[in-house]
Amino acid sequence: MIIRPATAADGDFLADMLVEAVNWSTEWKRKSKRRVLGAPDTAHYVAGWPRDGDLGVVAEAEGDAVGAAWLRFFPLEDPGYGFVAADVPELTIGVAAAWRGRGVGRALLNAVEARARTAGLRRISLSVERRNFAHRLYLAEGYEAVGAGSPDSDTMVKVL
Ligand SMILES: CC(C)(COP(=O)(O)OP(=O)(O)OC[C@H]1O[C@@H](n2cnc3c(N)ncnc32)[C@H](O)[C@@H]1OP(=O)(O)O)[C@@H](O)C(=O)NCCC(=O)NCCS
């Protein structure tokens, strides 16, 4: 597995990984890519990729993209679910189902954080439902809950 910077050509794959992130729970009816990209509150995580300030990484295995993690800044008037401030980018991460539980997600998280540090960023935020095991991954990687986005989810921040 290799991890490389995400490029302008990765927009469609990032959209696929956004669909995975939205559909993290197998208990819910799966939302289609069309629906995810048709809803402004989810589409804005990838719309127009790459925008100024966007930064991401893609994991590839056997020549195929298998996961991605990226950061995007949101303005106060169009916040993401994990919004804390306009100068703190929000993380999205997804790994193709067949590749989960093998360390790809943690490697992507560490790689996007390293790129963020190099870019001079100080903080990263995200939103995660507490029942998602990703919540434990984020805690283990130094993210701290700074508030509840909803009764079931936390907004978390990592200071880089
Ligand atoms: C969350 C996600 C990105 C993590 O990537 P991953 O490659 O599966 O995770 P990793 O293999 O790097 O494992 C990270 C930690 O989660 C744990 N983990 C992995 N799969 C797990 C599972 N099915 N159940 C419980 N814990 C699990 C691992 O044990 C690991 O912790 P450890 O190394 O201390 O044991 C990936 O599972 C995914 O895309 N899920 C669906 C989308 C999603 O939830 N995105 C995040 C929305 S906030």
pLDDT at residue 150 in the model: 86
Please tell me the residue having the least CA distance from ligand 1 atom 20: 101
Q: Is 97 in the pocket of ligand 1 (CB under 6 A)?
A: no
- 106 CA: nearest ligand 1 atom: 12
Among 28, 72, 137, 157, say which to mutate for ligand 1: greatest number of ligand atoms within 8 Å of CB.
137
> Domain spans of the chain?
2-159
Among 3.40.630.30, 1.10.287.1060, 3.40.50.300, 3.10.20.600, name the CATH number for the domain at 2-159. 3.40.630.30
Mean per-residue pLDDT, 121-139: 97
Contact status, residue 98 vs residue 123, Cβ threshold 8 Å: no
Q: Name the token pair of 99.
A: 């590749």
What confidence tens digit (pLDDT) does each residue in 49-81 have? Answer: 999 999 999 999 999 999 999 999 999 999 999
What band does 114 get if pLDDT is binned at 50, 70 and 90?
A: very high
β-strands 2-5, 55-61: how paired? antiparallel
Report the distance separating Cα 138 and Cα 71, nearest Å: 15
The pLDDT > 70 percentage for the chain reads 100
- Specify the 3-state DSSP secondary structure of 156: strand
Among 13, 100, 139, say which to mutate for ligand 1: greatest number of ligand atoms within 8 Å of CB.
100
> pTM above 0.75?
yes
